[in-house]
Amino acid sequence: MKEKEYHGSCHCGSVQFKIVTDAPELTTCDCSICIRKNALMVKVHETQFELIKGEDSLTEYQFHTHTARHFFCKTCGTYPFHRKRVSPDFFGINVHCLEGFDIEGIPVRATVGAGMA
């Protein structure tokens, strides 16, 4: 896929962000939290992520090793992104929060978070 900028937001619109990605793959995760959220993620480096607004609306949830940082909107409960545990310089972005992101044809890799945890 060609590298492209995507705009993302939570459901109520308090949290707005943009990313640049060529989306080589998407990942699902079977860790205890991701499996509950049914999240489908794309990984971007922190330099390709920009939070436009909503810092005050984000609540952070941490568990286990407290390295991964899971953010969600405290108004609508949407889970737009997290900081990854294995690679903290990267954000995992919930692709369902992105405008015009077509998941068709992008390979999905199942990562094994449960095994690592």
Q: How far is the CB of 74 from Zn ion (least distance, A)?
A: 8
Q: Which residues here bind Zn ion, judged by CB under 5 A?
A: 10, 12, 14, 73, 75-76
Contact status, residue 17 vs residue 73, Cβ threshold 8 Å? no
Q: How far is the CB of 9 from Zn ion (least distance, A)?
A: 8
Q: How far is the CB of 85 from Zn ion (least distance, A)?
A: 24
CA distance 13 to 31: 27
Which residue, 33 or 76, has its beta carbon nearer to Zn ion? 76
Which residue, 24 or 77, has its beta carbon nearer to Zn ion? 77
